[in-house]
Amino acid sequence: MQVNIRNLCFALLAVVVAFTSVPAQEQAQAPEEKTLAPYFLVKGDPSVDQLPLKDTRVEVSVSGVIADVKVRQIYRNEGARPINATYVFPASTRAAVYAMRMQLGNDIIVAKIKEREQAKQEFEKAKEEGKSASLLEQERPNVFSMSLANIMPQEQVEIELRYTELLVPTDNIYEFMFPTVVGPRYASAQDAKKENNGFVQTPFLPQGKQPPSELHITTRIAAGLPIYDVSSPSHQVFPQWQGNVAQLTLDDTNPFQGNRDFIVRYRLAGEQINSGLLLFQGTDENFFLYMAQPPQRVADAAIPPREYIFVVDVSGSMNGFPLEISKRLLRDLIGKLQPTDLFNVVLFAGDSTTLAPQSMPATPDNVARSIAFLDQQRGAGGTELLAALQQAMSLPRQEGISRSVLLITDGYVAGEEGVFEHIRSNLNKCNVFAFGIGTSVNRYLIEGVAKAGMAEPFVVTEESEAAGVAAKFREYVQSPVLTDIQVRALGFDAYDVNPVKFPDLMAQRPIILFGKWRGPASGTIELTGKTGQGLFTSRLDVAQSQPDQANSALRYLWARTRIAELSDYAASQADDANAKEVTALGLKYNLLTRYTSFIAVREVVTNPTGSAEDVQQASPLPLRVSDMAVGGGTQVGAEPELIWLIVSVLLMFTTALIIKGRRRLI
């Protein structure tokens, strides 16, 4: 008996030693998790600064419908050793990043745009030579990574980024959004093998822990017309007015607010969408932006029967607040279906569960059954989104009934392009709408699903918004604003126009067209389409607008729109021709793309040995997202305190067995 106890003791101690010797990254890759599951940050050597990003300052300037944004990130090595730091951060899906610079002390290095592989090679070479360098890469259209080499102890590095984007109003409301954190991403077994999913391994701070770096944002809006109803649903802001210009400053009493998207919304006088033409005349190319106000929505009382399939994310990242919002949204959507409508519910996490083998009439009993089905969910497991969409689209259907799939998720998946591709290949079977739930949703997925499905994206950041968003959805699907849309240039020599085709316009938003032109700025641009009342036609006299150097951002916006068509929402394996064209556009117009990166190198050797610690900047979990979003919960990448607690328990258990065995021998 004594020998058995001793053997048990040694076995338990061996387990403890093995467990504590496994790095956090390897612990995160438990057999049931995917290989790229994110993990919690585990602090190690105190002489190494694990959190080099200290401050982010954002200056937003809105002129008319174009926003120009300056982002300054301040990194500082507060440890005792040189470090190489990596930081993943989000961006708007519409951002055209056109400039970057690095400052160390009095030295300012303007970054150059280069092909991605070439930029990466130059960065690695500078790192080995002991030179300070920075590399900005695009992982997704809304996810960037910043790499810094050879930050010396107590040294500060300031990185400045510049980007521009177009603000397009919906239902007369303008919105500017600056994302602050990349939520955890779930990678399926297939997605885990893809090279561009390395950012998924970003470590996260535990639930509820505030961001380690400060966030400061100022926003100036000069819309050309009086501005009304300026508000931020995400943060407290203090507006000041100077005529028709609004200046907003983020509340700095708590500067650690970088765990949710910063959102500003406003209306303009008369609640009319600005329509017209912006022109920019360059040295070798001329660019234009055409915006046309759509007709008023026409109500249609005779709504045909429809089928709605609700595909709902109940994975670990949806646990708690996001899932509660989803339930409220679904109660509102399902509870107000017409008796002639059919519906079904598909819940998905690591696998999928369907409410019924085929869609059911929206009777009171069936509605109550679906609500009970939803109320049982608590949120756990992975996020196998593509399989759930495939299951929803393959459900039996009735002829003559319009089918719509409504995806409800926070979008925390890594395989976005595969989802887009499947939706595009099944457009003849259904419309696909996307509802993003949470304070920092993956808008690349939400907007991409809607774009691929030729439908509308919706985002719900607070529970109180659910009813309003549900009402908007019902209005959109019942009466499209404009269909069969065509835009023609008559007597105006336009070329390289994007987009080439327009989906049905479901929301009250302008028709947007980017392009180039040759010759005189004259002629007419004609918009035609169909409404509930018949044919709609709108004409714009080009000569009424004059080229303006203040519209220089149009060259970036045109190029970014073209890149989006070729790369952002294209097939998962873009062909060589597309890749070459995107690369050429990035190099010509100085833009960050999937294939081009910004590189800055200070040609001074500050770290002769070239030896430096590699650290990853940990991201905070988005506000109200639980630890279950990170590789299955707090069990993944456990912190040292938890490890030693386990050690103590095992030792106590072993000691108790030894004492018990000795008593029996006595």
Tell me the pLDDT tens digit for each residue of 548-566. 999 999 999 999 999 988 8
Instruction: Show the 3-state SS of 81-126.
Output: CCEEEEEEEECCCCCEEEEEEEEECCEEEECEEEEHHHHHHHHHHH
Residue 324 or residue 380, greater confidence: 324
Per-residue pLDDT band at 502 (split at 50, 70, 90): confident
Same domain for 133 and 250, yes or no, is yes
Per-residue pLDDT band at 46 (split at 50, 70, 90): confident
Question: How many other CB atoms are found less than 10 A from the CB of residue 538?
Answer: 16
Cα dist. 426→84, 432, 448, 529, 530 in Å? 45, 10, 15, 25, 25
330-369: pLDDT as tens digits: 888 998 888 888 999 999 888 889 999 999 999 989 988 9
pLDDT of residue 643: 42
Question: How many other CB atoms are found less than 10 A from the CB of residue 58?
Answer: 19
Distance CA 266, CA 264 (A): 7
Structure tokens that stand for 198 in this block: 């390395």
**What angle in degrees, to the nearest 10, is found between the helix axes of 321-335 and 466-478?**
40
**Cβ neighbours of residue 256 closer than 8 Å, sequence gap 6 or more:** 210, 211, 212, 213, 214, 215
Per-residue pLDDT band at 570 (split at 50, 70, 90): low
DSSP string over 373-403: HHHT----S---HHHHHHHHHTS---TT-EE
Domain boundary among 478, 505, 523: 478
Residue 391 lies in a domain: yes
Per-residue pLDDT band at 195 (split at 50, 70, 90): low
Domain boundary among 478, 500, 528: 478
Residue 134 has pLDDT above 90, yes or no: yes
393-452: pLDDT as tens digits: 999 988 878 888 999 999 898 888 889 988 888 877 788 899 999 999 999 999 999 888
pLDDT of residue 589: 97
Residue 401 lies in a domain: yes
Same domain for 8 and 118, yes or no, is no
CATH of the domain at 410: 3.40.50.410
Cα dist. 428→232, 390, 431, 661 in Å? 39, 14, 8, 73
Q: If you average pLDDT over residues 227-255, what whole number do you get?
A: 90
Domain boundary among 478, 502, 536: 478
Same domain for 333 and 463, yes or no, is yes
Q: Taking the CA atoms of 469, 474, 479 and 483 in sequence, report the sign of the dihedral they define.
A: positive
Residue 184 near residue 410 (C-beta atoms within 8 A): no
Per-residue pLDDT band at 2 (split at 50, 70, 90): very low
Same domain for 645 and 510, yes or no, is no
Structure tokens that stand for 609 in this block: 């040995």
- Cis status, amide bond into 206, omega within 30 of 0: no
Per-residue pLDDT band at 21 (split at 50, 70, 90): very low
Residue 594 lies in a domain: no
pLDDT of residue 472: 87
Best CA proximity match to 421, nearest among 394, 444, 442, 449: 449
Same domain for 210 and 66, yes or no, is yes
Structure tokens that stand for 206 in this block: 């535990």
Residue 571 has pLDDT above 70, yes or no: no
pLDDT of residue 477: 78
Mapping DSSP to helix (H, G, I), strand (E, B) and coil, where does residue 261 land? coil
Best CA proximity match to 343, nearest among 403, 301, 300, 423: 403
Same domain for 359 and 465, yes or no, is yes
Q: If you average pLDDT over residues 570-575, what whole number do you get?
A: 57
Per-residue pLDDT band at 295 (split at 50, 70, 90): confident
At residue 187, what is the residue type? Answer: A
Phi/psi of residue 650, each to 5°? -65, -40
Residue 309 or residue 301, greater confidence: 309
639-662: pLDDT as tens digits: 344 444 444 545 555 555 555 554
At residue 80, what is the residue type? Answer: A
pLDDT of residue 617: 85
Residue 223 near residue 244 (C-beta atoms within 8 A): yes
Residue 629 lies in a domain: no
pLDDT of residue 632: 44
Distance CA 446, CA 435 (A): 7
Same domain for 350 and 221, yes or no, is no
Q: What is the dihedral of CA 70, 75, 76, 77, to 10 degrees?
A: -170
pLDDT of residue 574: 55
98-129: pLDDT as tens digits: 999 999 999 999 999 999 999 999 999 999 99
Best CA proximity match to 348, nearest among 304, 282, 392: 392
Same domain for 20 and 59, yes or no, is no
Same domain for 397 and 546, yes or no, is no
Residue 270 has pLDDT above 60, yes or no: yes
Residue 378 lies in a domain: yes
Distance CA 635, CA 637 (A): 6
Could you identify the residue written with the tokens 């590399």? 135
Residue 268 has pLDDT above 90, yes or no: no
Same domain for 1 and 63, yes or no, is no
Distance CA 355, CA 358 (A): 8
Structure tokens that stand for 339 in this block: 């008796």
Structure tokens that stand for 215 in this block: 């966030």
Distance CA 461, CA 197 (A): 26
**Cβ neighbours of residue 648 closer than 8 Å, sequence gap 6 or more:** none
Best CA proximity match to 159, nearest among 171, 173, 149: 149
- Could you tell me how many residues make up the chain? 666
Structure tokens that stand for 520 in this block: 């005189």
Phi/psi of residue 254, each to 5°? -125, 95
Question: How many other CB atoms are found less than 10 A from the CB of residue 640?
Answer: 12
Mapping DSSP to helix (H, G, I), strand (E, B) and coil, where does residue 164 land? strand
Residue 626 lies in a domain: no
Residue 391 has pLDDT above 60, yes or no: yes
579-637: pLDDT as tens digits: 999 999 999 999 999 999 999 999 999 999 989 999 988 888 888 888 887 864 333 33
Residue 610 lies in a domain: yes
Phi/psi of residue 175, each to 5°? -140, 130
Longest dimension (CA), the chain: 107
CA angle 251, 252, 254 (to 5 degrees): 100
CA 333, chain centre distance (Å): 25
Distance CA 52, CA 41 (A): 14
**What order do you get walking across the sheet with 174-178 strand by strand?**
174-178, 262-268, 227-231
Same domain for 499 and 384, yes or no, is no
Decide the pairing of beta strands 112-115 and 131-140: unpaired
pLDDT of residue 652: 55
Residue 568 or residue 536, greater confidence: 536
Domain that residue 30 falls in: 1-42+637-666
Q: How many domains does the chain have?
A: 4
Residue 260 has pLDDT above 60, yes or no: yes
Same domain for 524 and 420, yes or no, is no
Distance CA 197, CA 578 (A): 21
CA angle 393, 399, 401 (to 5 degrees): 75
Q: If you average pLDDT over residues 162-177, what whole number do you get?
A: 92
**Cβ neighbours of residue 243 closer than 8 Å, sequence gap 6 or more:** none
Q: If you average pLDDT over residues 182-190, what whole number do you get?
A: 76
Residue 623 lies in a domain: no
CATH of the domain at 199: 2.60.40
Residue 237 or residue 32, greater confidence: 237
